[in-house]
Chains A and B, each alone.
Chain A
Amino acid sequence: MAEFSVAAPSVGAASGKSVTATGKALSVVALRKTYGDVVAVDEASMEIAAGEFVTFLGASGSGKTTTLMMIAGFCEPDSGTITVGGRDVTRLAPQKRNLGFVFQQYLLFPHMTVHENVAFPLTLRGVPKDEIRRRVGETLEIAGLSGFGGRKPRELSGGQQQRVALCRALVYRPPVILMDEPLGALDKKLRDQLQVEIKTIQQELGLTVIYVTHDQEEALVMSDRIAVMRNGLIEQFDTPRELFERPRTPFVADFLGAANFLPGRIEQHTDAHTVVRLDQSGGLLKARRHQLAPGTEVKVAVQPGRLRACATDDGFCTGTVETATYVGTLVRAGVRIDGGDAPLLRLEVPAGRGPVTGERIGISADPDDVNLFPTEQGG
C-alpha cells in the first residue's frame, strides 16, 4: 500500500488541471436515445461529483451501456445535454471529450508494447519524452505492472491486460473515467481481486469513475452511488445503503435485496409506524411510517435476511418450514405461510439456531426493515 501514497501526489501534480474534489465532474440532463420505436434511454438526468465512483447497474437492455456510450461520444443522443467539468460536450467527437474509457475486451493495441500502449495518450498530448517515461513508469507501478513495460499485450494474462487498459485510461488524468463491464471477461476470483484494486486506485488518486455492470455485488462493493436502470429509466440513484435499505420502487427492492413481497392493506398509522394487514394470514405488520392513506392496497417488501423466525404467537404470521438449506454461516429456509397459496417466503437466518424442515414457526421483522409500495406502482 505504501507505493500508493508515494505515487499519488506526483501523478496528481503531473496532470496539473484536474477538477477540484468538490467540483461537479459530470452532469447529464434529460438524455434520451431511441432506436426506432424502442426507447433505449429515457430522459436520464444525473450529477456526478469529482472523486465519486458511480455505477450504472441494470440487466442487459436496461440502457446502462447506451448511456455510457453517449457520455463517451460513441453514440449520439436524440436530445439532452452532457457536461464535463462545465463544458458542454454533447455534440463533440469522442477524441475531443478528454475522457478515459476502459473496455470489457481490454482493446490494447496489439502492435505496441505495454509501455507504448500506456504512453499512447500522452504522446497525443505532446508530453515531453522524459515526462512520458516517468508518468508511464509511475502508473504501471501503481497497477503492480513494473517490469512488464517491454511485453506485448498477448504475452499477458487477462487480468494483467485489463490493468494495462486501466493504466492507459488514467495516465493522462482525464476528469472522468468510463468503464464498461471491465471485469466481465475475468473469472470470479480475479474479479474480486481487481474490484478491490480498482477501488483502491480510484480512492488514492481521487478519480471520478462511471462504471457499468450487471453484477449487484460488484456495484455494492465498489460504488459511492449506484444508478439502478431498467427499460431506459433510472429507477433510483442513491448510495448502496439507501438502495438496499430504502428502495424507492419494488424493482429496486427485488433487484438489489431479492425482497419477499406480500400483498396487504394499510390499516392505520401510529406515531412511529404504519400498520399493515396482510391479505393471506390476516396478521398485522408494523412498517416504517409511510404517507399512504388507510385502506390503500400495498406490497410489503422485506429482504430474506431481515426476517426472523420466532415463536408461533409472536410473529405477524405463521407457517411451516418446507425447505431448509445449510449454506455455511446461514440457513436459507422456504416457509409456507398459513392461509393462502402465496410463493414460499424466503428466510435467511444464522446457522445453528436455524429452523428445521417441517417445523412450525412464527415470522417477525423489525419495522425499520419493512418497505411498503402502493400496488398500482407495478413491479
Chain B
Amino acid sequence: MAALTATAPAGPRKLLASRKTRIGILYALPVVVYLLVLFVYPILSTLLLSLKDADGSFTLHWYADALTGVNLSVLITTLRISAETALFSLVFGFVLANAISRLKPLWAGVAMLIVVVPHFISALVRTYGWIIMLGDKGLVNESLSGLWIPGAPFQLLYNELGVVIGTTSMMLPYTVLLLYGVMRGVDRRLLAAASSMGAGRVTIFRRIYLPLVAPGLASAGLLSFILSLGYYITPALMGGPNQTMIATLINQQVTKENQWNGAASQGVILLVLTLAGLLLVKAVSSLGASRKKRNAS
C-alpha cells in the first residue's frame, strides 16, 4: 500500500511536467521565430559581411581598417562624446528626478509629462530647435551679450559642446524616467531613521540615499551611453567635422561609397562595445557586492 501511494503520483506528475514543457515551447514559438528572423539573422549576416573580402574569401582587413587612422579617431570621438553625454544626462537627470520625486503625486505626474512630452516630437525638429537657440544670433548668445557677459557670443554649435548639449537633451527623458522610478521606490522613512541616529543631511545622502539609488544610476548611465554610441541625427547636425561619430561614418560608407563590408565591421565593433559596457557595469556592481560581503564578515 505504501509503495503504491509512493509511486502512483510520480507517473502523472512526470507526464504533466512534460506536457507543460511542450505547451510552454508552443507559447514561446512566436517569440523564438521573431527573434531568429529579426534579430539573430541580421546580426549573423552583418558579421559574415564584415568578414568577407571583395572576392568572397575570409578576411579581417575591414576590422584593421576600422581600427586605424581616421576611423580609429572617429571611434574614440564616439566613445568620448557618449561618455560625456552619459555623465551630463546622469547629473541633470539625477537633479531633475530627485526634485520630481519629492513633489506631491499630482505635480510629479505633471512634471514627468513635461519631461517626456518633448520626446514625442521628431528628434530632427528638436535638433533644429537647438540650432536656432544656440546660434551666434540665437536666444542664448543674444541674452548673454545683452547681459554684457565677456566673450559672448560663444561658439555653441558645430563643436563638441554643441553635440553634447544636443545629445544630453535627447537622453534626459530616459535617465529621468529610470531614476524617478528608482527614487520613488526609496522608503523616505529610512532617511528619517538615519537622522534619528544622528546622521546629518550629507551623511544620509552619501551613505543611505545614494547607495539605494545606485542601481538606477548605473542602468541610466549605461543606457544613455549605449544610446549615444549609435546616435546619428544630432551629432551630424550639431557637430563639426571633428565630431563625426561612428553612425555618421557608417551612413557615409553605405550611402556614398557603397562600402557595405566596412560599414558592417564598424557595426559589429559598435555592438561589441555595447556588450562590453554591459559586462563592465555588471562586473563593477558584483565586485562592489562581494567587497561589501568581505567587509562584513
Contacts and interface: CB of A to CB of B under 8 A. Distances in A.
Interface of A: 72-74, 93-96, 98-101, 103, 105, 107, 109-111, 113, 115-116, 120-121, 124-125, 149-150, 168-169, 172
A124 B197 contact: yes
A101 B212 contact: no
Contacts of B292: 113
Nearest to B293: A150
Contacts of B196: 72-74, 94-95, 99-101
A149 B211 contact: no
23 contacts: A72-B196, A93-B195, A94-B192, A95-B199, A98-B198, A99-B196, A100-B196, A101-B197, A105-B189, A107-B190, A109-B190, A109-B193, A110-B190, A111-B211, A111-B212, A113-B293, A115-B296, A120-B207, A124-B198, A124-B199, A150-B296, A150-B297, A169-B197
Contacts, number: 65
Contacts of A107: 187, 189-190, 192-193
A95 B200 contact: yes
Interface of B: 187, 189-190, 192-200, 203, 207-208, 211-212, 292-293, 295-297
B197 A100 contact: yes
Contact of B189 (A95, A99, A103): A103
A120 B190 CA distance: 13
Contact of B198 (A95, A103, A111, A116): A95
Contacts of A116: 295-296
Given A105-B189, A107-B189, A121 B197 contact: yes
Nearest to B215: A111
A99 B297 CA distance: 28
Contacts of B195: 93-95
Nearest to B193: A107
A98 B297 CA distance: 28
A32 to B, nearest CB: 23
Contacts of B197: 95, 100-101, 120-121, 124, 168-169, 172
Candidate in A95, A109, A125 with the most chain B CB atoms within 10 angstroms: A95
Contacts of A94: 192, 195-196
Contacts of A169: 197
B217 to A, nearest CB: 13
Nearest to A110: B212
Given A95-B198, A124-B199, A113 B296 contact: yes
A357 B191 CA distance: 59
Contacts of A101: 193, 196-197
Contact of B194 (A72, A74, A98, A120): A120
Contacts of B187: 107
Contacts of A98: 198
Nearest to A114: B296
A173 to B, nearest CB: 12
A180 to B, nearest CB: 10
Given A103-B193, A107-B193, 8 more contacts: A94-B192, A95-B195, A95-B196, A100-B196, A107-B187, A110-B190, A113-B292, A124-B197
B272 to A, nearest CB: 32
Contacts of B297: 149-150
Closest 6 CB pairs of A and B: A101-B196, A121-B197, A107-B193, A113-B296, A95-B195, A94-B195
A311 to B, nearest CB: 60
A201 B62 CA distance: 74
A124 B81 CA distance: 40
Nearest to A99: B196
Nearest to B210: A111
Contacts of B211: 111
A240 to B, nearest CB: 28
A149 B200 contact: no
Contacts of B193: 101, 103, 107, 109
Contacts of B203: 124
Contacts of A120: 194, 197, 199, 207
A31 B199 CA distance: 26
Contacts of B295: 116
B295 to A, nearest CB: 8
A113 B212 CA distance: 14
B132 to A, nearest CB: 45
Contacts of A121: 197-199
Contacts of B207: 120
A149 B212 CA distance: 20
B213 to A, nearest CB: 10
A377 to B, nearest CB: 39
Contacts of A110: 190, 212
Contacts of B296: 113, 115-116, 149-150
A99 B192 CA distance: 13
Contact of A74 (B192, B200, B208, B212): B192
B15 to A, nearest CB: 37
Nearest to B192: A74
A125 B197 CA distance: 10
A166 B194 CA distance: 14
Nearest to A72: B196
A331 B94 CA distance: 65
A94 B190 CA distance: 13
A192 B187 CA distance: 28
Most B CB within 10 A of own CB, among A101, A111, A121, A149: A111
